[in-house]
């Protein structure tokens, strides 16, 4: 449970290479609570326009590799490979 503004369910997106996976220390993020959105608005502490941010994220995306599953056998390996995020219902594929 959370009280006040909270950002949740970002790990599944990051695990599959979504925009959250590309955020690095020092990047600037705008949080729009009424609009229910997050937006990367700068890189390395410097505010940039959308085209500049998109160019940096494209380079990061090209170099991005998923983290290897740390579970090599057993139930946790199966779960990490087949579980669907809670935001989508938390079932097994």
Q: Mind giving me the DSSP string for 27-64?
A: -EEEEETTTTEEEEEEETTEE--HHHHHHHHHHHHHH-
Sign of the Cα torsion 50, 8, 11, 91 reads negative
**Domain ranges for the chain:** 11-67
Q: Which of 24-28, 54-58, 65-69 has the lowest mean pLDDT?
A: 65-69
Residues 62-85: what's their mean pLDDT?
90
Confidence of residue 80 (pLDDT cuts 50, 70, 90): confident
Residues 60-72: what's their mean pLDDT?
91
């Amino acid at each position: 449970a959370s009280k006040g503004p909270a950002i949740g369910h970002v790990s599944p997106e990051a695990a599959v290479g979504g925009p959250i996976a590309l955020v690095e220390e020092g990047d600037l993020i705008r949080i729009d609570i009424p609009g229910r959105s997050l937006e990367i608005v700068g890189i390395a502490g410097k505010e940039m326009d959308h085209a500049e941010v998109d160019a940096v994220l494209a380079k990061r995306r090209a170099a991005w590799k998923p983290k290897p599953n740390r579970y090599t056998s057993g139930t946790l390996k199966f779960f990490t490979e087949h579980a669907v995020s809670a935001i989508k219902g938390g079932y097994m594929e």
